[in-house]
Amino acid sequence: MKKPKVQKSSDIAQHIDPSKKVRVYRNLHKKCFSVKQDGVVRCHAEQVTLRDCKFIVSKAGQKRVREECRKNVHAFVEGYVLATTWDSSDWEKAYYNPYTCDTFINQYDRSPLETATFADLYVDPVSICVFN
C-alpha cells in the first residue's frame, strides 16, 4: 500500500497517534522523511517538527554502512510530532554522516547530539535544526 505524503508537520497528525512517539528518518529513495510509529511507516513528509527528541544511531547498521559502503536505515530522530511550526532559522543545526561521525553532531560546536527539546527536519534543503 502506498503511504501518504504530506508537506508539513501539522498534516502528520491525521496519520499517527499524536500521544505516541515516532521515529523519523531520511528516505533517500523518495527524497523525504519517513515517519514510523509502532514499527510501521505511517506517512512521508517534507517537514517534521518534534519535541522531546532523542537522536538514535544503530551501531550495527552504522558498521554495515561503513563495511559495505552502501547506505541503510540506521539513524533516527525520535520524539512527539508537533503540529506547530516555528521559525527555526536561529536554532542550532545538526547533521549525521555515517562515514565520518559516530553520532548526530551539533554543527556549531561539533559536539555529539543525543537529545534536544525540539527538532525541525526539512527536506529542501536537507537540514536538522535543534533547540534546547
Rounded to whole angstroms, how far apart are CA atoms 6 and 4? 7
pLDDT tens digits along 80-105: 999 877 787 889 999 999 999 999 99
- Write out the three cell numbers for 73: 536505515
The total number of structural domains in the chain stands at 1
Measured from the Cβ of residue 43, the count of other Cβ atoms closer than 10 Å reads 21
User: Which pTM does this prediction carry?
Assistant: 0.93
Query: Does residue 33 register a pLDDT over 90?
Result: yes
User: What pLDDT does residue 60 have?
Assistant: 97
pLDDT tens digits along 43-77: 999 999 999 999 999 999 999 999 999 999 999 99
- Using DSSP's 3-state secondary structure scheme, residue 65 falls into helix
Q: Which domain holds residue 97?
A: 5-131
User: What pLDDT does residue 85 have?
Assistant: 72
